[in-house]
């Protein structure tokens, strides 16, 4: 499946809105660790109005002849004091298990390393085994702490052997 990974644009708000409304309740809960029944304009603006020095939002887009389909979103926000970024990835339910999350995470990792970051942090529900598996295969040195059904992860970048 041809997949284009690209930075978000402000004009992507309708695409992102459709994406979030296509997600199951479980996927929404796993992504936001809270129940979300709507995605208002103000919330969508947080995904499309980006200061690329402090955050990154990457879209995984499939060009399907007449339309673009958003398959997934990966993002991070930088904590300048620690030189790490909080990372999150979400993939459409009907496209999970196809490597899209892996590609998004690898691309975000490459971009974060280029910015001089040392790693990622993430909050993952204990029951979200696919996301834990994604991070475990991501090539990080992982520290995890469990608190009330949520793992707090520290994902340190490993030195590349280039």
Domain 4-114 sits in which CATH superfamily?
Answer: Gcn5-related N-acetyltransferase (GNAT) (3.40.630.30)
Q: For position 32, what pLDDT does the model report?
A: 67
- Residues 66-76 have pLDDT tens digits of 788 899 999 99
For the chain, what percent of residues have pLDDT higher than 70?
92
pTM of the model: 0.88
Domain parsing of the chain, residue ranges: 4-114
The DSSP result for the chain, as a single string, is: ---EEEE--GGGHHHHHHHHHHS-HHHHHHHHSS------HHHHHHHHS--TTTEEEEEEEEEETTEEEEEEEEEEEEETTTTEEEEEEEE-GGGTTSSHHHHHHHHHHHHHHHTT--EEEEEEETT-HHHHHHHHTTTEEEEEEEETTEEEEEEEEPPP--
Using 50, 70 and 90 to split pLDDT, how confident is the model at 102? Answer: very high
Is it the case that residue 63 has pLDDT exceeding 90? no
């Amino acid at each position: 499946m041809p997949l284009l990974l690209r930075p978000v644009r402000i004009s992507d708000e309708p695409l992102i809105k459709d994406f979030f409304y296509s997600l199951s309740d479980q996927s929404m809960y796993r992504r936001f660790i809270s129940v979300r029944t709507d995605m208002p304009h103000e919330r969508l603006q947080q995904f499309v109005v980006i200061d690329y020095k402090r955050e990154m939002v990457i879209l995984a887009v499939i060009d399907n002849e007449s339309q673009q389909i958003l398959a997934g979103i990966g993002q991070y926000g930088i904590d300048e004091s620690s030189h790490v970024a909080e990372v999150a990835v979400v993939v459409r339910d009907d496209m999970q298990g196809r490597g899209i999350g892996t590609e998004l995470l690898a691309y975000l990792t490459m971009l974060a390393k280029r910015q001089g970051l040392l790693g990622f942090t993430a909050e993952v529900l204990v029951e979200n085994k696919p996301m834990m598996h994604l991070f475990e295969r991501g090539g990080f040195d992982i520290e995890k702490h469990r608190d009330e059904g949520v793992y707090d992860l520290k994902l340190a970048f490993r030195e590349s052997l280039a």
